[in-house]
Chains A and B, each alone.
Chain A
Amino acid sequence: MDFGLSKTEELFLQMIREFAEKEVKPLAAEVDEDERFPLETVEKMAKIGLMGIPIPAKYGGVGGTNQMYGMAVEELSRVCGTTGVILSAHTSLCCAPILESGTEEQKMKYLPKLASGEWIGAFGLTEPNAGTDAAMQQTTAVLDGGDHYIINGSKIFITNAIYAHVYVIFAMTDKSLGNKGITAFIIEKGTPGFSIGKKEKKMGIRGSATTELIFEDCRVPKENMLGQIGKGFGIAMKTLDGGRIGIAAQALGIAQGAMDETIRYTKERKQFGRSISQFQNTQFQLAELETKVQAARMLVRSASYKKDNGIPYSVDAAMAKLFGAETAMEVTTKAVQLHGGYGYTREYPVERMMRDAKITEIYEGTSEVQKMVIAAKLLK
């Protein structure tokens, strides 16, 4: 692979950095403090095409690469973890499965509005009793007559839920078949029997509007089945492979943001008559952290490169997410430490970054799940 960026990617980076700095960063503290979904930012992102980066032009997207998409999530997360995950969930978890598994009609119906950002996307797999063990789905979909499914059950921890228009969700069409009885559906906002449940109060990424989805005799037209009957588990796993690149990029961005803040702070802050950046402890820590951040970036870039070039990437995505999330947690924790007492206050963004970082070790497959994926490949 090419370790450098293409000219197009460099041009993109110039734009996304300026956008993040000027449009996203000024809102980050408020979005966190008020647990507010930054809808105005999503509108701005939509206007310049950020909501449809890897979607082909024929479906109304921009026909960009997954590499660019990852860079977008990274740069947004560098200043605001919430904004990063909004884009990631929309793109990786909703647009991608429709693009990869949808029929031509479904693609033409949903992707142009998703890619333009007119609609926001969400994804519902997790249930109270089906987290890592996704096969334990309790939500059911039962054929009613010949042309509708009746869905019953609930999903939890759904990013973007309140503001989304389109949801890719999973339900058991045949419980006796286990994994092979899971089917994916596309649910539109406003479908009778479909409602939004309680909003979670979270530690971090507090603006991302995470809620429950409730299905009570929700009638969904058969055409909304995504992929074939019983193939939902495969679609979920494939979607999460791609999603992990997004979350790895989010983690990387949070880590980079904490580095930026810490480098600035340690140069300004004086103790014992010197800026604390002049102490070897600070220097060695910064050097180690920067090395890890750069290594995490290489893993994200490598996984994106493989996805863009049709090379199997699921282990790469797992590694990128595992290492990225752990790096984000380590960097933000040490960033708070290097900030001392101030770092523990909301005056400095590293406090928020540390809270935001934690989720990257948990969602879209915990770090333990990533290790299972990696080990399974090793020992196969």
Chain B
Amino acid sequence: MNIIVCIKQVPDTTEVKINPQTGTLIREGVPSIMNPDDKGGLEFALQLKDKFNAHVTVITMGLPQADAILREALAMGVDRAILLTDRKLGGADTLATSNAIAGALRTLEYDLVVAGRQAIDGDTAQVGPQIAEHLDIPQVSYLEDIDFDGNKTFTLRKQTDDGYQVLQMDAPCLVTVLASAVKPRYMNMRGIVEAYQREVEVWGADRIDVAEDKIGKAGSPTSVMKAFPKSLKPAGATFEVSAEEAVDIIVEKLKERHII
């Protein structure tokens, strides 16, 4: 079985702080990490490798520094790592991104494509399903658990808005995974020692199977008109008083607003 896991390098948005004066982002010192949902997906793939001796490839599209998360994936135990990087791929929205990655996947063998549900820097949850559509394969998103019959059928547990579904899906297919579904393994020591001795394949746009007008800025139907800091309403008064006084203040306000 061949599994391809699509991963993304993202800024750790939980570490991002806002300058309270200007309302702008403080990006300085924000670490770059493997997107958490993608790491969950990678763990599922590695579990299938452990159980069914699957061959696991990771692919990422991004800037050259995204190499770091591929090394991490190698140290976690994947067999092959591909960095898709090209200026022609820059400025892509989700549709163009999915076209580029689907273009790369067309040149590879796969039974299962795994992606994270969404990336914490964009939170769109779009690229995975869009890749599946380009490849004309079925998808199950919001995956919580996966099992394989050893032949061609996966049994999957999918989160729904009010519970879960258990589904069966035939290979080749795509899943998007929730980080909360699984605890990713740690990189192992031998993997770490070998990570930088192994090869990360660097692919350019000419290496993938997709029309040039489908990728990068040209292939993006959407564009950002403007970006602006969120308007912040002025903060109310803050009190540092005893618990009794605090309760009095709150009760007073609740009365004023006719809540009690």
Contacts and interface: CB of A to CB of B under 8 A. Distances in A.
A39 interface: no
Interface in B157-213: 185-190, 192-193, 195-196
Interface stretch (A12-20, A92-100, A174-182, A211-219): A12-20
A257 to B, nearest CB: 20
B38 interface: no
Interface residues of B, number: 15
A50 B189 CA distance: 6
Contacts of A15: 75, 186-187, 192
Specify the main secondary structure of chain A where it touches its partner. Answer: helix
Contact of B72 (A6, A11, A47): A11
Nearest to A53: B189
A270 B240 CA distance: 11
Nearest to B76: A15
Interface stretch (A57-65, A261-269, A288-296): A57-65
A7 B71 contact: yes
A48 B75 CA distance: 10
Contacts of A270: 240
Contact of A49 (B68, B72, B188): B188
Contacts of A52: 189
A49 B240 CA distance: 50
B195 A11 contact: yes
A8 interface: yes
Given A8-B193, A11-B195, A48 B71 contact: no
Contacts of B187: 11-12, 14-15, 48
B189 A62 contact: yes
A62 B72 contact: no
Interface in A45-100: 47-50, 52-53, 57, 62-64
Interface in B202-228: none
A244 B240 CA distance: 49
A93 B192 CA distance: 24
Contacts of B189: 12, 48-50, 52-53, 62, 64
Interface in A286-325: none
Interface of A: 6-8, 11-12, 14-15, 18-19, 47-50, 52-53, 57, 62-64, 270, 273
Interface of B: 68, 71-72, 75, 185-190, 192-193, 195-196, 240
12 contacts: A11-B71, A11-B195, A14-B72, A15-B186, A15-B187, A18-B186, A48-B185, A48-B187, A57-B190, A62-B193, A64-B192, A64-B193
> Nearest 7 CB-CB pairs, A to B?
A49-B189, A62-B189, A15-B187, A62-B190, A48-B188, A48-B186, A12-B192
